[in-house]
Each structure stands twice: as structure tokens, then as C-alpha cells.
């Protein structure tokens, strides 16, 4: 009985994370074409020069995910040494960006990059547990 409760909780969590990842990618793909120019103006220094030329849907969503992860790393020791070291333009871009831009790239795009791999890994664990039982 105890194993089935744990399996049920793990299955429920995996399905919930999968649904969350699916909704985040749908919202992200819908928003990307409409806000990419505004986000590029606000956080452009965080991207490489080559990335700013591409405005296609998968590439713009990828770039905004990168912006979100770089914004999340702003206050970490790793981020300060690898992303922001000797780059005052990047620091200024994050500090002067409108709050809605930071919220969108952090909560939608960076969240997907974090949630989706966890959901996939948990799905493999649930399948492994189910097959071994």
C-alpha cells in the first residue's frame, strides 16, 4: 500500500510538471513574436551580436530563455563572474529594464528551461518504477 501511494504521488507530480511545462511553452511561443523587439531593446547587451539578428519564433524564444537564465544568475557568484564580470552594460541593462520584461523572461521562459527537464527526468523515473513493479 505504501509503495502505491508513493508511486501515485510521484505520478501526479510528474503529470503536473508536464502540464506546467506544456503551458509555459504554449504561452512562450504565443508571446515571443509580439514582445521580442521590446525585450531585445531592454536586455540586448545580454545576448551575443549574432543572436540579435534572428527574429524567428524558435530562435526568439530561445534568446528570451537565455535572457531569463542570465537575469536569474544576476545575484549568484557564478553569474557575477561568468556573465557580468567587467560588463557594466549588462548590469545596467538588467537594472534599468522594465519590471514586466524581467518578470516575463524569468517566470515564463526561464521557468520552462528549468521545469521541462525536471518533468522529463521524472517521467523516466516513473516509467522505470512502473516497469520494475
Residues whose CB is less than 8 angstroms from the CB of residue 85 and which lie 6 or more positions away in sequence, other chains included: none
pLDDT at 101: 95
Query: What is the average per-residue pLDDT within 1-24?
Result: 88
Average pLDDT of the chain?
A: 89
pLDDT of residue 4: 85
19-46 residue pLDDT tens: 999 999 999 999 988 998 899 899 989 8
**What's the mean pLDDT in 11-18?**
94
Output the 3-class SS for 57-117.
HHHHHHHHHHHHHHHHHHHCHHHHHHCCCCCHHHHHHHHHCCHHHHHHHHHHHHHHHHHHH
Residue 14 near residue 126, CB atoms below 8 Å? yes
Cα-Cα-Cα-Cα dihedral sign, residues 33, 39, 40, 45: negative
| Domain assignment of residue 17, given as a range | 2-132
Q: Is the pLDDT of residue 1 over 70?
A: no
Q: Which three cell numbers stand for residue 123?
A: 517521467
Burial readout 87-121 (b: 16 or more C-beta within 10 A, e: otherwise): eeebeebbeebeeebbebbeebbbbbbebbeebee
- Split into its structural domains, the chain has a count of 1
Cell of 58: 524558435
**pLDDT category of residue 115 using cuts at 50, 70 and 90:** very high
Residue 69: pLDDT band (50, 70, 90) is very high
The DSSP letter of residue 49 is: T
Amino acid at each position: 500500500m505504501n509503495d502505491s501511494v508513493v508511486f501515485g504521488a510521484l505520478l501526479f507530480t510528474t503529470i503536473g510538471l508536464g502540464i506546467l511545462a506544456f503551458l509555459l511553452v504554449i504561452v512562450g511561443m504565443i508571446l515571443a513574436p509580439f514582445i521580442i523587439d521590446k525585450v531585445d531593446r531592454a536586455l540586448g547587451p545580454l545576448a551575443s551580436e549574432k543572436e540579435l539578428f534572428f527574429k524567428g519564433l524558435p530562435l526568439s524564444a530561445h534568446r528570451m530563455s537565455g535572457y531569463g537564465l542570465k537575469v536569474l544568475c544576476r545575484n549568484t557568484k557564478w553569474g557575477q563572474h561568468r556573465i557580468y564580470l567587467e560588463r557594466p552594460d549588462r548590469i545596467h541593462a538588467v537594472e534599468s529594464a522594465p519590471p514586466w520584461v524581467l518578470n516575463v523572461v524569468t517566470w515564463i521562459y526561464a521557468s520552462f528551461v528549468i521545469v521541462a527537464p525536471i518533468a522529463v527526468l521524472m517521467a523516466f523515473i516513473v516509467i522505470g518504477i512502473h516497469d520494475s513493479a
